[in-house]
Chain A
Amino acid sequence: MAIKIVLIAAVVLVALVLAGGHGARRLALRRLGLAAFAAVAVVSILLPDTLTWVAQKVDVGRGTDLLLYALIVVFFSYLSTRYVRDRRTLRQVTALARRVALIEAPAPRPVIGLGHSGADGVDNAVCEDGVERNDGGDGPA
């Protein structure tokens, strides 16, 4: 029973860390988490029995089982951070690729007065007008 409370608390904590805050606050939380992880790791290396002791406190048979539970929580929290980050990266890559594509694309229309669209219809008057003025302006210069 106790393990359920511990696991749910861990999941909620991870979710809060993922969701809450940004920038410096989140970074600080992450660093605290890392420090806690290192401390627990060192203790469990020096005194392997503590892990089993803790496990029994929360009604889990062995220390290895506790480790497995912790690993699962960490794995899913990693997956969710990864997912959020991947989506952001994809958005950035998309924006970048779109800029590249648009920069390299040809102009949508021929310059006024040149090209096919000037050959037919409504724009015709405008185009011819433009051409004449250009010719007039360019001549003396």
Chain B
Amino acid sequence: MFFYAVSNRGYDDIIGMRYSNAGNLLSGAVQIFTERMKLMFNIDLLSRTPIYEQLYKKILELILKQELKTNDKLPSVRELAKELGINPNTVAKTFQMLEHDKVIYSLAGRGSFVADVKTDVITEKALSGFDTAVREALAAGIPKEELNNRINQIS
């Protein structure tokens, strides 16, 4: 077997934080990455979920939590790729998907910004998960009444 054992993620995180300043010297770009931002965008490189999908969900989540507000500037592809240690093509792909879904918009030469996302777009996304869960529950033979009761209990 030739695959390396998966190394300890915590270690890489620490290294990433500690030496990020050395790497920043490479780019003349103004660093808008605060420590807080870094934590916000933290993604799991060892996760089973594709990196672009994680980043997509992360940005949606940040908008939903109001950490990113309408017309806020997003970090550039370069900054995100460097900070997260991932391929810039992956970041660019995520931004394209977000733009396609009208979550962000971009201005030539100025970067990407948070669009005036109707909360119903986000609600729609949340509900699609709900729909799947209901379908599964019904398929598993749980009666509709019980599901209704459940909703009443939670809300």
User: A and B bound?
Assistant: no
Chain B residues close to A by CB (< 8 Å): none
